[in-house]
Amino acid sequence: MHTSHPRLPGELTFMALIVLFSAFMLWASYNISRFDSLSSPGFFPMLCAATMLVTGLMSLVKTARSKLALAPGQTVFQQFVQKLAPLTLVLFAALIVAYMLLLEVLGFLVASYLFLLLSMQVLGSKRIGLNLVVSAVVLAAIYIVFQTAFSVVLPAGSLVGPYLPEFLK
């Protein structure tokens, strides 16, 4: 039994969520073809979802039995922030989301350059000059290699794209 190590903040919620998700998927799988036959298209998804439900419940029970190790005066939320979502991580994750969303609008080069600069700053690489150069060099390398060797068409961006010089498209 692994009940010995303390429960992490948010672990119980996460386990409950995956159990709910599994139950929902079981219901969705059941709706594919109900119990028509034992080799129907819905049978295997149902089996997977049922397995997830059972093993998810097992993990939920195990988690519920273990105890949180809170420091005196610390709330669960504070510990969650400290152990799972420190500020740097949240900021970085927000930058990632923004980057993915803006990739289509700003285009690969502009969006990536901004993302690289900002995230290096957030993660603590404070030498701005170096960050500027490293980002530019690496991005240029990625762009050239992928555009030529791998013939990957990277998004030019709907906002910036039309104004870019021809060779950068």
Partner 1 sequence: MMEALGYFFMSWVDVQMLLLTAMGTFAGIYIGAIPGLSVTMAVSILISFTFKWDVNHALALISGIYLGGVYGGSRSAILLNIPGAPSAIATGMDGYPLAKRGEAGQAIGLTTVVSVYGGFIGILALAVAAPLVSDLALMFGPRDYMLLAVWGLLLVGSLSGESLSKGVFSGALGALIACVGLDPMTGENRLTFGSMQLSAGIAYVAAMIGFFGVSEVIAQIHELKLTAIKQNVSKIIPSWGLLKKYLPLATRTSTIGVVVGALPGAGGDIAALMAYDHAKRTVKNPSRPFGEGAYEGLVAPESANNAAVGGAYVPMLTLGIPGDAVTAVIIGALYIHGLKPGPMLMIETPHLFWFIVGSLVLANLFLLVFGLTGIKIFAKIVETPKPVLLPLILVLSAVGAYAINNNPVDVYWMLGFGVLGYFLKMYGFQVGPVILGMILGPIMDRSYRQAMASSGEDVGVFVTEFFTTPLSAILLACVVLTVVSQADWWKKLRGRK
State which of residues 71, 129, 148, 150 lies at the interface with partner 1 (CB under 8 A): 150
* Separation between Cα atoms, residue 151 and residue 144, nearest integer Å: 10
Q: Which stretch binds partner 1 (CB under 8 A): 65-73, 133-141, 156-164?
A: 133-141
Binding mask 11-50 for partner 1 (x = CB under 8 A): x--xx--x------x--xx--xx---xxx-xxxxx--xx-
Q: Per CB under 8 A, does 72 bind partner 1?
A: no
Q: Per CB under 8 A, does 66 bind partner 1?
A: no
* Separation between Cα atoms, residue 97 and residue 81, nearest integer Å: 19
Q: Per CB under 8 A, does 139 bind partner 1?
A: yes
Q: Per CB under 8 A, does 51 bind partner 1?
A: yes
State which of residues 110, 116, 157, 161 lies at the interface with partner 1 (CB under 8 A): 116
* Separation between Cα atoms, residue 162 and residue 12, nearest integer Å: 50
| CB of 165 closer than 8 Å to CB of 109 | no
126 contact partners, CB below 8 Å, separation of at least 6: none
- Closest of 65, 82, 75, 78 to residue 5, by C-alpha: 65
Residue 55: φ, ψ to 5°: -70, -35
State which of residues 72, 129, 153, 163 lies at the interface with partner 1 (CB under 8 A): 153
Residue 68: φ, ψ to 5°: -75, 140
Find the farthest-apart pair of alpha carbons in the chain and give their distance in angstroms, rounded. 66
* Separation between Cα atoms, residue 35 and residue 138, nearest integer Å: 55
Q: How near is the Cβ of 45 to partner 1 at its closest, in Å?
A: 4
Q: Per CB under 8 A, does 108 bind partner 1?
A: yes
Residues that bind partner 1 (CB under 8 A): 1-2, 8, 11, 14-15, 18, 25, 28-29, 32-33, 37-39, 41-45, 48-49, 51-52, 55-56, 58-59, 62, 84, 86, 88-89, 92-93, 96-97, 99-100, 103-104, 108, 112, 115-116, 119-120, 123-125, 131, 134, 138-139, 142, 146, 150-155
